[in-house]
Amino acid sequence: MLFSVSCISTVLASICHYFPIFSLPRGLGLTIAVILSLAFVEHPSSLSVSSDPRRRSPHWDPPCGVTESIEIVCLMIFVLDLAVKSFLIGWEEFRKNKWLICYMVVISVSIIDWVLSVSMVCDERLRVRRLFRPFFLLQNSSMMKKTLKCIKRTLPEIASVSTLFLHHCLFLCVFVCIQDSKKNEEWELYFRNLPQAITSLLVLLTTANNPDVMMPAYSLNRAYSIFFVAFSVIGTYCLMNLLTAIIYNQFRGYLLMSVQTSIIRRRLGIRAAFQVLTCQAVQEHHISSCLIMPVVNVEHVCVDAVLEVMTRVKMKNYYRAAIATEAQQHANIGYMDREQFRKIFDELDKDRIKEHPPLPQYNSRVLQRLQEIFSHYYLTIFGNAVALANVMCICTVLVLNAEKSTAERDNFTMEIINLCFILYYLFEMSVKIFALGWRGYLSYRNNIFDGLLTILLLIVQISIYVTYRVRNSQKDPSSHDVISLWEMVRLINMLIVFRFLRIIPDIKLMALVASTLLDLLKNLRAFAGILVVVYYVFAVIGIWLFEGVIKPPPGMSLLSNTTMENITSNFTTECGTYEQLGYWPNNFDDFASIILLYDVMIINNWQAFLDAYSRYTTGWSKIYFVCWWLTSSVMWVNLFVALILENFIYKWDRSHSCSVTDVERIRYETSVQLMFKSQIQEPTEEELLCQLHKHPHLHLHG
């Protein structure tokens, strides 16, 4: 079959345009990672062992021009990337693309700010370009753009839950009405004025200050508990969960719509590839199978043409092999129609399913019988039971030795127990290798996991015997110069506990949970990217607002050998405050403030940060922390929960009638398209042709 160069290039262009599986150049991703990482090095630098201002040494800031040189190289790469993209799509398409226009604006602002920074010898207070760096991550990820659009469409529905704020205001008014004239200092700590009362109730909504906020009033009159219990039940358990349900429902609806759009784009790409590959002129003996006659409605594409194109398209090898295998099934006919051509690309929704090599062949009847026994599933079940018994023995010995000193512990008994189990693990590994062969044994991930840990356990056990039972039989094991006997035994115990994880694939529910987690790690990169962007932006803003505002009182500088008792002896604080809890390392003095943001996202004791920063700065600082709580804990965490629910429910429904061994295969066939397959509407042929004829880069006829 002969192909023109223009035909091949057009097919490649159409496929690459519509299929999202082709990733960006790795160099561009590395450039984005480098420019984002500069925040840890440039002023204020995070290059210190501790973030605690009491023991932290002065920040080491790189000389002016070091990070700036790296940054300008990254910006020039972005300029080149923008130039290439604008050249490929043309000026008309460039003007319509908002992301590329913003890309150009961000690069321009970053370069201008970089020039100002260099001209001021890196002594500027604010680096505005730091706030725009996460845009490079967003702009170069189509999945992040979709996720961001999804979040954008979900926000109005979240804002519509105004009942949450009405509930807050209502209970605040009720509190003012029922407030007792009797007050004490602790009561005034939470409700001394309107802003403080609003903050206290907002924190109570997250249960972080419960029951502390209730105790002063409850100590005066037990009837006050009705107010706080009603507030928590309505706000925390009803309205907040209702908000989660709304976010889940809205996000799932938009995710379905996004998948529908992706399916249409994929069908367009496949249809465009089919149209281009349709033979226009072939040799005479192929005319009957490949020539498209104007009067014939059924079009065909030659199998050889598809196979030739697949050798030139850049994609993962197992995708190429799977598509080629499906195409070769039509080789006896020599051509495929539109539907057959479309179905071969369904392999793009599936991950690679690893084929295990055949079992070794033995001539002896005895060896064949042993191979059948040792390859049986019951051997794995028995091995799991042995692993469970091993963990139970370890727990029992640890409980018995918990109150004993290191010298009094019976390490010899633990050694003997572990040695017996290790010998069984070695026997199990040997018989599996005998039954499956080396290649067959290594083709299973569980076997690799078991084998590595078994060998490591054996090495450590031999080391214990050689070190303490042969060379140093008279020496105290607890005082060994390199590593004590008890520490080596603890190492073996930890390895044995890790080895017990082998049971996960053999229990249906645990395998389902594990496969869900693995699938989340694979498919939630867009969410992780959005979270990186949000953390980055809030960390930069936090540094601008609060850098250096929290300073420990004079005389609290820590030395390496200073104890906490000596530090706090001359410094007293109220219980539960930032200072009393020792939260000094959580600050905005450098970019490592992302740890503080994480602590607030968890919402445990986040009222301590609200109180501290309002005391060290102004009460308006609470707006920053409340905005971060709404963005991270309320918005992002609920979106994350929504995806987990969707993924798990889908897997649960599919695996409800599956065996344990089938659960492992489910994760190989999971994609967002398959999750919504039953709800996706396939575009009609007329819709596809209409959009193809309107495409600016494809000039199709007929």
Residue 49 has pLDDT above 90, yes or no: no
Residue 606 has pLDDT above 60, yes or no: yes
Please tell me whether residues 17 and 128 are part of one structural domain: yes
Going by pLDDT thresholds of 50, 70 and 90, the confidence category of residue 459 is confident
Please tell me whether residues 492 and 379 are part of one structural domain: yes
Domain annotation covers residue 270: no
**According to the model, what pLDDT value does residue 23 have?**
38
Domain annotation covers residue 291: no
Lookup result for tokens 């060379």:
471
- For 609-665, write each residue's pLDDT tens digit: 998 999 899 889 999 999 999 888 888 888 777 777 776 776 666 665 555 444 444
**According to the model, what pLDDT value does residue 175 have?**
67
Please tell me whether residues 385 and 448 are part of one structural domain: yes
**According to the model, what pLDDT value does residue 486 have?**
58
Domain annotation covers residue 347: no
Residues 414, 396: Cα–Cα separation, whole Å: 10
**According to the model, what pLDDT value does residue 110 have?**
94
Higher pLDDT, 509 or 128: 128
Domain annotation covers residue 685: no
Please tell me whether residues 442 and 414 are part of one structural domain: yes
Where are the extended beta strands (E) located within 270-387? 301-302, 335-336
Please tell me whether residues 541 and 665 are part of one structural domain: yes
Domain annotation covers residue 567: no
Q: Which of 140, 159, 175 is the last residue of a domain?
A: 140
Please tell me whether residues 533 and 645 are part of one structural domain: yes
User: Which among 126, 113, 105, 39 has a CA at the least distance from the CA of 72?
Assistant: 113
C-alpha dist (Å) from residue 9 to 39, 266, 407:
42, 18, 75
Q: What is the CATH number of the domain that holds 245?
A: 1.10.287
Q: Which of 309-313, 482-486, 519-523, 599-603 has the lowest mean pLDDT?
A: 482-486
**Which of 5-14, 116-125, 549-558, 619-628 is the most confident on average?**
619-628
Residue 289 · residue 334 · CB < 8 Å: yes
Domain annotation covers residue 7: no
Residues 125, 380: Cα–Cα separation, whole Å: 63
Please tell me whether residues 452 and 396 are part of one structural domain: yes
Going by pLDDT thresholds of 50, 70 and 90, the confidence category of residue 353 is low
Please tell me whether residues 466 and 376 are part of one structural domain: yes
Please tell me whether residues 496 and 600 are part of one structural domain: no
Please tell me whether residues 212 and 119 are part of one structural domain: no
Mean pLDDT of 419-440: 87
- For 593-603, write each residue's pLDDT tens digit: 999 999 999 88
In terms of DSSP H, where are the helices of 500-583?
508-523, 525-546, 564-568
Residue 283 has pLDDT above 50, yes or no: no
Q: Which of 110, 140, 170 is the last residue of a domain?
A: 140
Going by pLDDT thresholds of 50, 70 and 90, the confidence category of residue 125 is confident
Domain annotation covers residue 609: yes
Q: Which residues contact 103 (CB under 8 A, 6 or more apart)?
A: 78, 82, 135, 139
Going by pLDDT thresholds of 50, 70 and 90, the confidence category of residue 10 is very low
User: Domain range holding 211?
Assistant: 147-262
**According to the model, what pLDDT value does residue 655 have?**
60
Q: Which of 140, 169, 191 is the last residue of a domain?
A: 140
Going by pLDDT thresholds of 50, 70 and 90, the confidence category of residue 34 is very high
User: Which among 302, 324, 328 has a CA at the least distance from the CA of 2?
Assistant: 302
Please tell me whether residues 177 and 110 are part of one structural domain: no
**According to the model, what pLDDT value does residue 446 have?**
78
Residue 74 has pLDDT above 90, yes or no: yes
Domain count, the chain: 4
User: Which among 504, 515, 596 has a CA at the least distance from the CA of 549?
Assistant: 596
User: Which among 313, 251, 302 has a CA at the least distance from the CA of 277?
Assistant: 302
Please tell me whether residues 456 and 521 are part of one structural domain: no
